[in-house]
């Protein structure tokens, strides 16, 4: 499953009702075409005959005649750094639900607090945001009334240090649900690829290098093959 950002939770709820108990793999469509393409930096999934859709979902069903094993590996490790969501956006930003726009963390501008706790992961993006603001240049492909105008993409910058909410299952095992940062807005808010809630505590996840991510994927594949 791949869906354009903003509706993934609803798609998953619908799939769970129609196909109860069937595992679903996938997530947000996160290909951000730059402004030079004429698509305004929107997020797309690819449709039939190479048609791009900015509002849609792809579903593919897999039926097998053999035993299937599933292995879930965490690509990031939780750190001791916690932050409280103290303010969400009042209105949707660039098609995102307000719950996907975090304006404040620990009563500070979200971008600044995230940058502090992540060790400067979005320092360059904050500098670009400031430069755009001082020069009057917009971004994100929107008009004057677009709250996403002037946004700075941080998909790659935040890849090694996403946010997450923690939960404990019935067996006492701790799980982290990713809330991946997407962009910085002119008011130093952060848009995300999943919903956040006011007054919930988020944890900063971490991985030292891209190599660790690759190794984690290889480990999950090896485990699945070993169980099959």
- Give 187's DSSP letter: T
- pLDDT on residue 106: 97
Residue 15 shares a structural domain with residue 92: no
Residue 146 shares a structural domain with residue 50: no
224, part of any domain: no
Residue 112 shares a structural domain with residue 140: yes
Residue 188's closest CA among 104, 74, 93, 98? 104
Residue 83's closest CA among 130, 116, 50, 39? 116
228, part of any domain: no
pLDDT in tens, the chain (228 residues): 888 777 788 888 999 999 998 888 887 876 655 443 334 455 566 566 666 667 788 888 888 888 776 666 667 888 999 999 999 987 554 455 678 899 999 999 999 999 999 999 999 999 998 888 777 655 554 445 555 667 888 988 898 899 999 888 778 878 888 899 989 999 999 999 888 999 999 999 998 666 766 776 776 677 667 665
- pLDDT on residue 145: 53
Residue 179, CA distances (Å) to 194, 195, 196, 202 in order = 5, 7, 8, 9
Residue 94 shares a structural domain with residue 153: yes
174 contacts 205 by C-beta, under 8 angstroms: no
- Give 100's DSSP letter: G
Number of structural domains (the chain) is: 2
Rounded CA gap, 66 and 194, in Å? 34
226, part of any domain: no
Residue 131 shares a structural domain with residue 47: no
Range of the domain at 16: 2-58
Rounded CA gap, 163 and 97, in Å? 18
Residue 196 shares a structural domain with residue 91: yes
55: which 2 tokens?
A: 């509002």
Residue 35 shares a structural domain with residue 82: no
- pLDDT on residue 173: 79
11: which 2 tokens?
A: 């798609």
Residue 15 shares a structural domain with residue 84: no
Residue 135 shares a structural domain with residue 188: yes
- pLDDT on residue 74: 67
119, part of any domain: yes
């Amino acid at each position: 499953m791949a869906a354009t950002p903003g509706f993934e939770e609803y798609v998953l709820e619908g799939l769970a009702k129609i196909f109860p108990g069937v595992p679903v793999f996938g997530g947000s469509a996160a290909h951000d075409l730059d402004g030079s393409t004429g698509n305004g930096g929107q997020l797309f999934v690819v449709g039939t005959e190479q048609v791009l859709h900015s509002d849609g979902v792809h579903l593919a069903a897999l039926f097998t005649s053999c035993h299937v094993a599933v292995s879930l590996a965490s690509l990031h490790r939780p750190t001791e750094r916690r932050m409280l969501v103290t303010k969400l956006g009042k209105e949707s930003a660039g098609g995102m639900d307000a719950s996907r726009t975090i304006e404040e963390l620990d009563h500070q501008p979200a971008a600044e607090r995230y940058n502090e706790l992540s060790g400067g992961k979005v320092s360059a993006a904050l500098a670009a945001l400031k430069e755009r603001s001082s020069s009057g240049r917009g971004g994100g492909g929107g008009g004057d009334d677009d709250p996403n105008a002037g946004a700075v993409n941080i998909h790659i910058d935040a890849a090694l240090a996403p946010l997450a909410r923690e939960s404990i299952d019935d067996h006492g095992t701790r799980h982290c649900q990713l809330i991946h940062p997407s962009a910085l807005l002119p008011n130093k808010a952060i848009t995300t690829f999943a919903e956040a809630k006011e007054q919930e505590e988020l944890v900063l996840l971490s991985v030292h290098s891209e190599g660790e991510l690759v190794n984690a994927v290889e480990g999950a594949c090896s485990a699945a093959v070993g169980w099959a």
